[in-house]
């Protein structure tokens, strides 16, 4: 590994050390505030929040530990089938399973109905850090067919998310249409990135699968499923909000009964 690549990977580690705990903190604080806005008090607020916190922290801690110990490198040269088994299937399983549980939860539905539309959109702003893929590509560690669409797509998603969140907060015309657009764009970017990322397991300039090397291996095992879940929850929120008059939601919140009737 060249000094340039080593330096670029070290920069990725430093970004992750700052960004990932911040992502978890935002999730936990946001869920706690959302439960309050949905009228949850006492144990009805503490219990779901604690359960949520344990699951999220356990998820990111497990993935981070396994990645740092090189647990995913064992499939680095095993080709596309192994990448599909060890990366794609877990991504699909976590995202689909998580969405089923969340969207069947009255508690989560109440939170989604109670929080502002811009919250879930703004969450995707952390995707600006996708520029790190471009840096690794410039150092010949990541192939262009993966790094360029993934890096540019992630960065644009983060920038668009900030702009759309501001538009939603100000209730500007077409803000909700833009929210749909940024969610669909972000999901398309993730699908493209995962598809191209699988090909890096077959062949890469570094002679290994870069996406299975720490710290990049945390991206497909934590970052991607989480981003998919948040995008889908945002679309779900937009659909629910469009079916309910704004006044109805406000009344539910004011009387602390902002739970969902999915």
User: What would the DSSP string read from start to end of 176-187?
Assistant: HHHHHHHHHHHH
Apex 136 CA angle, 132 and 139, nearest 5 = 145
Supply the angle between the helices 89-103 and 106-114 in degrees, to the nearest 10: 80
Peptide bond into 161 cis (omega under 30): no
Q: Cα torsion at 66, 67, 71, 72 (round to 10°)?
A: 140
What CA–CA distance (Å, rounded) separates 219 from 85?
A: 16
The structure's pTM equals 0.87
Query: How many residues are given for the chain?
Result: 262
Helical ranges in 38-143 per DSSP H: 43-68, 80-83, 89-103, 106-114, 117-123, 131-138
| Average pLDDT along the chain, 262 residues, taken 10 residues at a time | 66 82 96 97 97 96 89 64 69 90 95 97 95 87 87 96 97 96 97 78 55 83 94 97 62 38 33
Instruction: Name which of 256, 247, 239 is nearest 112 in CA terms.
Output: 239
* pLDDT at residue number 135: 86
Instruction: Name which of 140, 116, 142, 135 is nearest 38 in CA terms.
Output: 116
């Amino acid at each position: 590994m060249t000094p340039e690549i080593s330096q670029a990977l070290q920069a990725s580690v430093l970004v992750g050390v700052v960004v990932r705990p911040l992502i978890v903190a935002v999730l936990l604080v946001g869920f706690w505030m959302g439960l309050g806005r949905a009228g949850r008090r006492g144990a009805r607020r503490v219990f779901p929040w604690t359960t949520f916190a344990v699951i999220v922290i356990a998820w990111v801690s497990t993935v981070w530990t396994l990645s740092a110990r090189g647990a995913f490198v064992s499939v680095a040269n095993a080709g596309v089938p192994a990448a599909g088994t060890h990366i794609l299937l877990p991504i699909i399983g976590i995202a689909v399973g998580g969405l089923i549980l969340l969207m069947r939860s009255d508690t989560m539905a109440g939170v989604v109905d109670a929080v502002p539309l811009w919250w879930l959109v703004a969450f995707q702003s952390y995707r600006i850090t996708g520029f790190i893929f471009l840096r690794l590509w410039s150092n010949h560690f990541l192939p262009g067919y993966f790094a360029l669409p993934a890096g540019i797509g992630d960065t644009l998603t983060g920038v668009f998310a900030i702009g759309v969140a501001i538009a939603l907060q100000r209730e500007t015309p077409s803000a909700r249409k833009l929210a749909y657009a940024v969610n669909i764009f972000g999901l398309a970017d993730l699908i493209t990135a995962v598809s191209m990322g699988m090909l890096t397991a077959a062949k890469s300039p570094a002679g290994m699968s870069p996406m299975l090397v720490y710290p990049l291996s945390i991206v497909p095992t934590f970052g991607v499923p989480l981003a998919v879940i948040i995008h889908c929850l945002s679309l779900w929120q937009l659909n629910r909000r469009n079916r309910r008059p704004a006044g109805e939601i406000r009344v539910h919140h004011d009387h602390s009964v902002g739970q969902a009737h999915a």
